[in-house]
Amino acid sequence: MDRRSFLNLLGKGLLASSTISLFPSLVWGKTSFDYALEGQNLIQGGSYEKAVKALKEAVRLDPESDWAFGLLGRAYRGLGRKAEAVDAFRQAVRLNPEDVYSRMMTEIMTQKPIPKLKKTKKPLTSLEKKALEEEAQMLSWLRSEDGLRYQVKRVVIDAGHGGFDSGAVGKAGLKEKDVTLDLAKRLHQRLQRSGGIKSFLTRTGDYYVPLSERTVIANQYHADLFISIHINANKNRDARGSETYFCSERASSKEAARVAALENAVLKYDTPFKKRRGYIDIEEILFQFERKLYWSESGKFARGFQKRFGQYLPLKSRGVHSANFYVLRKAKMPSILLETGFISNPRNESMLKQDVFRERIVDAIVRGLV
C-alpha cells in the first residue's frame, strides 16, 4: 500500500478500531509507508546507507510507490551512486509523470559535460614573431621614464598680440608684438627643418587675431600642444627672467593674476559671440567636463617644459604659475603661455633686440618641447 492509498483510507475512516482486525498487518507489521517515512528521516539526518536499506524494503513491499522510489533516488545520490540514483528517479517518474523533482534530477544527472577542446599550439609565423617583438619593445618603452612623458607631435604656435595691439613696449621702443611674431616664425622654421614636430602659426604677419580664435585654430589642427609666446612687463624695471603659465580658474599668485589681466585686457576689442535665444551649445557643455583634464595636463607639461627651457636660456627662471588666461581657456589640448624675458627691463630689452639671443630663445623652446 503506497502513501496516497494509506492517506486516502485514513481520511475515509476505514482504519477505525472496528476495522483494525480486518487489517492486522497495519498494526502488527511495518508497511511500505512506514519504511519510506523511516528512509525520509534517515536522509534528513544524513544516514544515507541506512536510508537505502529502509527504502529498498519500501519499494519491495510496494513496487508502485513513486514516493519511495523518489526517496531512494535521493539516498543513492547522497552516497554518490549516480547510476542507481538515476534508475530510482526514472522509476518515480514512470509511476508519476507529474513528479517534477525526480524528472529534474534525472535530467541534471544524465547531462554530459561538454568536452574541452584540446588546443594544439601551432608554430608562430615570422610575421607573428616580429609583431610580438615589436609589442614587447613598445611595452618596455611605455614603462620607461621616456615613454611616460607627454609626446608632442603637432604644435600650434601663437605670436602674442599683433596689429593695433602692440602689447608691452620697452623704454627703447621695442614692441612685444614684433618680438613674438619673429620668435614664432623662427620656431616654426626650426621645427619644419627638424621634421620631428609639425607646427602651425596663428598669425604670420602684423595683424590682430581675436584671443578666442587663436585656440579655435589649435583645435582645428588637432594640436598636441598650444604655445602662446609673450614678453612680460612690469612697473618694476628690475624684474627679469622667464616663466611658463598654464590656465586655471584662480591665479596662483597676485603676480600671476596681474600678468593674466594684462594679457586679457585686449578682450574688449573682441566681438562677443551672441547665442540665439534658447540655443544650447552641447559642445560647450561637454568641454566643461574635459577642461579640467586639459588644464591638469597643461600644469604637468609646463613644469617639465620650464625645467628644460630654463636650463638652456640665459635668463633667470621664474618658475611655473597659473591664472585665467583667456587665450588658453578653450584649448582642447595641453596649452602653455611663455613670458620670455621682461621688455620693461633695459637689459632684457637690449638682449631681445639681438638675432643671436632670439635664436637662443628658440633653441631653448625646442629643447623644452623635446
Sorted by where each begins, the domain ranges of the chain are: 3-110, 149-369
What is the distance between the alpha carbons of residues 183 and 163, in angstroms, rounded to a whole number?
16
- Between 225 and 1, residue with greater pLDDT: 225
Most confident of 59-63, 68-72, 85-89, 177-181: 177-181
What is the distance between the alpha carbons of residues 83 and 227, in angstroms, rounded to a whole number?
79
User: Strand 317-323 to strand 242-247: parallel, antiparallel, or no bridges (unpaired)?
Assistant: parallel
Sequence-ordered alpha helix ranges (H) in 12-81:
24-28, 32-44, 48-61, 66-79
- Side-by-side strand order, sheet with 225-232: 198-201, 154-159, 225-232, 335-342, 242-247, 317-323
Are both 3-110 and 149-369 of the same fold? no
With cut-offs at 50, 70 and 90, classify the pLDDT of residue 233: very high
- pLDDT for 169 equals 95
Statement: residue 26 has pLDDT above 80: no
158 by DSSP, 3-state: which?
Answer: strand
Nearest Cα residue to 302 out of 226, 251, 250:
226
What tens digit of pLDDT does each residue of 294-353 get?
888 899 999 999 999 988 888 899 999 999 999 998 898 999 999 999 999 999 999 999
With cut-offs at 50, 70 and 90, classify the pLDDT of residue 20: very low
Residues 6 or more apart in contact with residue 357 via CB below 8 angstroms? 314, 351
- Residues 326-349 as b or e (16 or more Cβ within 10 Å = b): bbbbbbbbbbbbbbbbbbbbeebb
Q: What is the mean pLDDT of residues 128-144?
A: 65
What tens digit of pLDDT does each residue of 184-212 get?
999 999 999 988 889 999 999 999 999 98
pTM above 0.85, yes or no: no
CATH top class, domain 3-110: mainly alpha
Domain 149-369: which CATH number of 3.40.630.40, 2.60.40.1180, 3.40.50.720, 3.40.1190.20: 3.40.630.40
What is the distance between the alpha carbons of residues 223 and 153, in angstroms, rounded to a whole number?
8
Which of 13-27, 43-57, 223-237 shows the lowest mean pLDDT across its residues?
Answer: 13-27
Q: CA torsion, points 45, 47, 51, 52, in degrees to nearest 10?
A: 150
Strand partners, 165: 162
